[in-house]
Amino acid sequence: MNNKTFAYGRVSSNDQNLLRQLEAFSKLGIDNKNVYVDKQSGKDFEREQYKLLKSILRENDLLVVKSIDRLGRDYNMIIEEWRDITKNIKADIYVIDMPLLDTRKNKDLLGTFISDLVLQILSYVANQERNFIKVRQREGIDIALKNGVKFGRTPKTKEELEEDIHFLKYYSQWKSKQITLVEMQKLLGVKSRTTVYNWIKLFEEKK
């Protein structure tokens, strides 16, 4: 049976663009039918297309990702998933943005050790950077609120929501799980989470 090459791409929300990842896969000659994508947070691996892809992977197949954080966001989960694919399924993984992370190369003990070491370092750095971003966002929100800054206005119709740059910005951040609903409420300067939730429902209604 011929070994197959698969690619996995991910963005955190529907309004983010997969183009760069898809172009990278295309340059490697990966067939579109073997490209699986999720528009979902990388907080865990409970993603429909990822689970489908993993169920198809077989020994000596190749899984390609653009960068390690497209695989996932959590440091420990990435390590566990990497080992499951390479040790249990016995498939290979190639990370385009980090050529050292290519399990097809140097399959001896030293090569495996170097690959595992690089993976752990990159996963840790990615995890720490996300934590720093969350801290900076929280500090920025607290300082602004302390200084009496009011964020946004109070749109009432779907059309107003679609044109409100403040709502669109914080909706996108909430959708990609960068901020919580409570933080979105504070940033928009409204008194009730219910109001924000109702705006979201109204905004997401199909025309």
Check residue 164 and give its pLDDT.
80
Check residue 145 and give its pLDDT.
60
Between 181-188 and 109-146, two packed helices, what is the crossing angle to 10 degrees?
Answer: 40
Q: Does the pLDDT value for residue 142 go beyond 70?
A: no
Of residues 162 and 46, more confidently modeled: 46
Give strand ranges (E) for 20-121: 35-39, 62-65, 92-95
CA–CA separation, 94 and 99 (whole Å): 7
Taking residues 13-35, what's their average pLDDT? 88
Of residues 15 and 2, more confidently modeled: 2
CA–CA separation, 19 and 120 (whole Å): 27
pTM of the model: 0.58
Taking residues 45-61, what's their average pLDDT? 94
The rounded mean pLDDT for the chain is: 80
Cα 72 to the chain's mean position, in Å?
6
Check residue 22 and give its pLDDT.
93
HSE-CB of 97 using CA atoms within 13 angstroms: 11
Q: Which residues are catalytic?
A: 12
What is the band of 36 on the pLDDT scale with cuts at 50, 70, 90? very high
Least confident of 141-150, 168-177, 188-197: 141-150
Closest CA to 112 of 96, 121, 125, 101: 101
